[in-house]
């Protein structure tokens, strides 16, 4: 079996081998425009197994971010109110530690107030599978380089104001009873 770039050959899919990773993507774009349709069609060729959540507004994307976990966020700068809506959403995703890819025909659409977004990888809406795969790699490397690898659960706990004791203060007895109830049969 050959696994390259988290993709499986068609022969492997037929044989019953399950994909190693199921990518969870959040795509925030104007769903009425159809601008990002070619990009959506490129996702299976780039990532193989994936789950795509589409958001048609900044509020919808905010709700998705608050309630779900994603591996990568794709933000089209055509998202209303363009381009500031998409730029604000991208900034929020970056602050959450989510790898972000901008979808735009040109970086000139990034508002002056969001100059930090120029460092993010970007794709035109008609990008192919290879370009998308490259951008995903760049986005993940950029997020990891900035130390944005906080687990989603800790972001969620921080959002609701909950705290956990430091790991060294948690006793083994706190988790042992649950571990003893696990049955492998």
pLDDT digits (tens, 9 = 90+) for 55-74: 999 999 999 999 999 999 99
148-167 average pLDDT score: 45
Average pLDDT across the chain, whole number: 78
**Joined tokens for residue 79:** 């998202």
152-156 average pLDDT score: 44
Q: What is the pLDDT of residue 17?
A: 58
Residue 112: strand, helix, or coil: helix
Q: What is the pLDDT of residue 123?
A: 95
pLDDT digits (tens, 9 = 90+) for 100-144: 999 999 999 898 889 889 999 999 999 999 999 999 999 999 999
Q: What is the pLDDT of residue 5?
A: 45
- Whether 91 has a pLDDT exceeding 90, the answer reads yes
Q: Which CATH class is domain 3-149?
A: alpha beta
More confident site: 4 or 114: 114
Degrees (nearest 5) of the Cα angle 54, 61, 76? 65
Burial class (CB in 10 A: 0-12, 13-18, 19+), 72: buried
The runs of H, that is alpha helices, within the chain are 10-14, 37-47, 58-67, 84-96, 129-145, 152-160, 176-180
Quick one: DSSP state of residue 79? S
Q: What is the pLDDT of residue 60?
A: 96
Q: What is the pLDDT of residue 42?
A: 96
pLDDT digits (tens, 9 = 90+) for 9-26: 444 444 555 556 789 999
More confident site: 96 or 168: 96
What's the CA gap between 144 and 164, in Å, rounded? 24
> Where along the chain do its domains lie?
3-149
Residues forming beta bridges with residue 101, ordered by sequence position: 74
pTM for this model (two decimals): 0.70
């Amino acid at each position: 079996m050959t696994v390259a770039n988290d993709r499986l050959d068609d022969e492997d899919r037929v044989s019953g081998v399950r994909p190693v990773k199921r990518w969870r993507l959040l795509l925030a774009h104007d769903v009425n425009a159809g601008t990002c349709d070619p990009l959506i069609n490129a996702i299976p060729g780039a990532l193989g197994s994936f789950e795509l959540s589409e958001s048609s507004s900044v509020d919808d994307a905010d709700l998705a971010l608050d309630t779900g976990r994603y591996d990568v966020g794709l933000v089209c700068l055509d998202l209303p109110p363009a381009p500031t809506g998409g730029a604000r959403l991208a900034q929020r995703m970056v602050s959450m530690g989510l790898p972000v890819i901008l979808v735009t025909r040109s970086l000139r659409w990034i508002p002056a107030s969001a100059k930090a977004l120029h460092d993010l990888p970007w794709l035109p809406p008609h990008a192919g599978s290879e370009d998308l795969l490259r951008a995903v790699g760049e986005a993940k490397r950029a997020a990891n380089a900035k130390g944005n690898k906080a687990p989603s659960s800790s972001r969620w706990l921080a959002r609701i104001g909950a705290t956990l004791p430091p790991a060294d203060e948690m006793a083994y007895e706190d988790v042992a009873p649950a571990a003893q109830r696990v049955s492998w049969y």
